[in-house]
Amino acid sequence: MIARTLVAAALALVPLTAQAQDTALPTNTAADWSVATSEHRIAVEGGKVWVRVNGVIGQGQAPVIIIHGGPGGTHVNFGNLLSLADQRPVILYDQLDSGMSDRPENPANWRTERFVAELEAIRKALGVDRWHVIGHSWGSALALEYAAAYPQHTVSAVLSGTFISAPHWITGTNLLIRDLPDDVAATIRACEGPTPPAPEVCEPATAAFYAAYNGRPDRPAPSPAAIAYRKRYGGKGFNATVYNAMWGPTEFRASGSLGTYDATHLLARVDGTRILFVVGQYDEARIDDVQDFVALTPGAELAVVPGGSHAFIAERAEVAEAIYRDWMNRKDASETGK
């Protein structure tokens, strides 16, 4: 579920609200990875999270917040979606214990409801009334949970690279293992068994799974801007401790606190006409499974990114952007009655 500093020295921190601080930054061009309109450290349960905004809240169409995967991932894979800021504010953030945010590493914070409350704290601190929430992988679960809990603040929710059920995910990844070459599949099964082979045997087989379903060999190389952004804004990066505690050691086995997580019941509680599922053609979130989720969400839509894996936002950036842009524009239009 893994979706795997500026001119700040010259700028002073000024209060945004009682729970946040704001750093004003120069206005940027929408496609620039490196420059935000503003940066914030927002108080949430357990610490403060780092948030960046491209655009001005209250100007343009409804804002969108991008919710990264993991658990324990960061926002850095989504910088290319800043191009959406030509129409609306784009909000990126790192969840508590990852990236640029505080890293208390307190297991008491590693609860789904706290991560959902984190989103709501960001909304309040930024003064957003209604926004679009785009969640990727583990972020899909948070987007769905948020849309169900706060429909009055949700224009739409996008469940991208969809993870909303651990049992479905584990079944799906094990079916995908079956489709790998026989020797690779046998090695993965052995590595997931009670007496696994040595890491030098297991790691290449796991890498083969990722090459098929989460970062395909034909993916474009990162742009110089993306590489520079990662160096500047990667913070402390991915937090494997959170990932292992909440999920487990691999994508194929959920031994952590999310092992029994299943939010499919929430699909009946949300307005399906405001839910979009998006997956890559070769996604580890299997199309067959996601179609079942769509069937449980009357009025929902499904988009498939041709040639994309679970990392389709980076692999097929223009297609992903076009899907998100069209969807949000249509939902904005329906909200205003146009």
Catalytic residue numbers, as ranges? 137, 283, 310
Percentage helix, strand, coil, to 5, in the chain?
40, 20, 40
Q: Which amino acid is at 93?
A: Y
Burial class (CB in 10 A: 0-12, 13-18, 19+), 166: buried
Identify the H or E element spanning 47: strand 47-54
Token pair for 333? 């239009």
Longest dimension (CA), the chain: 61
In the beta sheet, which residues pair with residue 183?
none
320-323: long-range contacts, CB 8 A cutoff, minimum separation 24: 320/81, 320/278, 321/80, 321/81, 321/83, 321/84, 323/276, 323/278
User: Nearest to residue 331, comparing CAs of 87, 80, 83?
Assistant: 87
- The Cα–Cα gap between 290 and 74 comes to 24
Alpha-carbon 14 to chain mean position? 29
Token pair for 54? 């491209």
Helices 287-295 and 166-178 cross at an angle (nearest 10°) of 150
Task: Report the b/e string of 262-275 with b at 16+ CB within 10 A.
Answer: ebeebbeebbbebb
Token pair for 132? 């679009």
| C-alpha atoms less than 13 angstroms from C-alpha of 56 in its C-beta half-sphere | 7
